[in-house]
Amino acid sequence: MQKFLKGQNSAVPLQRYFALDILRGMTIALMILVNTPGSWATIYAPFEHSAWHGFTLTDLVFPTFLFVIGNAASFSLRKYENTSENAFLRKVFKRTALIFLIGLLLNAFPFVYRADGSLHLIDFSTVRIMGVLQRIALCYCLASLLLHYLKLKKSLIVGVLLLLGYWALLWFFGTHPNPYSLEHNAALKFDLLIFPKENLYRGFGLPFDPEGLLSTLPAIVNVIAGYAAGIFIQKWGNTRKTIISLAISGFILLLIAELWDIYFPINKGIWTSTFVLFSTGWDLLIIAALILIVEIANIKGWTYFFEAFGRNPLFIYILSGVVITLMNLIQIDGQSISGLIYENLFLSWLNAYNASLGFAIFYVLLMWLLGYVLDKNKIYIKV
């Protein structure tokens, strides 16, 4: 189906860009893979987050999801250009609230925990408030407002100011001589002003939320970058010029990030400005490679696996969290369903690391089957 990008004097016909859809599906598949190992104690290094400073394949997943949200917005936001402001704001705020609320409920789900062989109701006053979906909701909302009211060029300028301003905030309000450390960063200090420590993530050994409020500011730029890439691809089409331009831009961002890393470390935990540039650089290189493979070379035999994920992305991601939580909670003869599957189907004949990866791949395939059934029945659930 043709779409149209309306300029001041003409309308340029557009198609739906397949490479963008594949990138979305690849991102969801990798998110599920790294979130559901058979054992968190035996994970291959590329499938773990960096301990603090640094960058791994797994660190690329979340910013890429924000990037593809921006890609999608380069199509979806256009339809609001000829509607009322109330309709636009109602849509954005409603979707923001819904995604944020689902994220909050997932943090509390399944609302009970197992101890001493029985189930107990959780303490709702200690539920984590922020999280992945909550950050997605806030970034989607703020980026949509910026792009709608300021348009792309001014939004890019705001993005640069956000990255520089965030650097300044962490430098001036962090505790020296280690303002970017886990214990002394300004993002943690700000979140503790807003949230009780009981409502923060505890996976780092102390109350600290890697999806906190202050560190959400630079993450908005990942969405704006995805939007800019989507607009650029729509304007220039699936051409070699597009591929070269995206690749050069990606390499430039990687170079800037590496040089800036000397002063402002690449760090997912506090979502540093260098992390934004580094992850966006890789995203531009990946989308350039996908355009080359699936659009120019027309090699598409492998793509349907990711299409099934990409057509119901948020729903499949949300359900993947619900299903694995229930598999961990429900027990048979004192052992969880997930534990039984892991030990009997994988750990019984593979070493610990391969068994852990095997379970993760099994779970990805399980979620793919769900996506396949939804797609074949033309069921598309928008969150």
Q: For 223-267, what is the HEC assignment?
A: HHHHHHHHHHHHHHCCCHHHHHHHHHHHHHHHHHHHHHCCCCCCE
Domain membership flag for residue 291: yes
Instruction: Return the closest-CA partner of residue 218 out of 136, 163, 154.
Output: 163
CB 267 within 8 A of CB 180: yes
Structure tokens at 33: 């893979």
Block residue for tokens 């309306």: 6
Where is 20: in which H helix or E strand? helix 18-35
Residue 165 belongs to domain spanning = 3-376
Scanning 43-131, the segments in alpha helix (DSSP H) are 57-76, 85-108
The whole-number pLDDT of residue 242 equals 93
Q: Which among 332, 249, 315, 330 is positioned nearest to 99, based on CA atoms?
A: 315
Domain count, the chain: 1
Kindly compute the dihedral angle of the four CA atoms of residues 353, 328, 369, 352, in this order, to the nearest 10 degrees: 10
> Residue 95 and residue 183: Cα distance in Å, rounded?
34
Task: Please tell me the predicted confidence (pLDDT) of residue 84.
Answer: 86
Residue 272 confidence (pLDDT): 98
Question: CA 256, CA 284: separation in Å to the nearest integer?
Answer: 14
Pair 171, 179: CB distance under 8 Å: yes
Is the residue at 383 inside a domain? no
In a domain, 235, yes or no: yes
- Per-residue tens of pLDDT for the chain, all 383 residues: 333 333 333 344 445 578 888 999 999 999 999 999 999 999 999 999 999 999 999 999 999 999 999 999 998 888 887 788 898 999 999 999 999 999 999 999 999 988 887 889 999 999 999 999 999 999 999 999 999 999 999 999 999 999 999 999 999 999 999 999 999 999 999 999 999 999 999 989 899 999 999 999 999 999 999 999 999 999 988 889 999 999 999 999 999 999 999 999 999 999 999 999 999 999 999 999 999 999 999 998 899 999 999 889 999 999 999 999 999 999 998 899 999 999 999 999 999 999 999 999 999 999 999 999 999 999 998 87
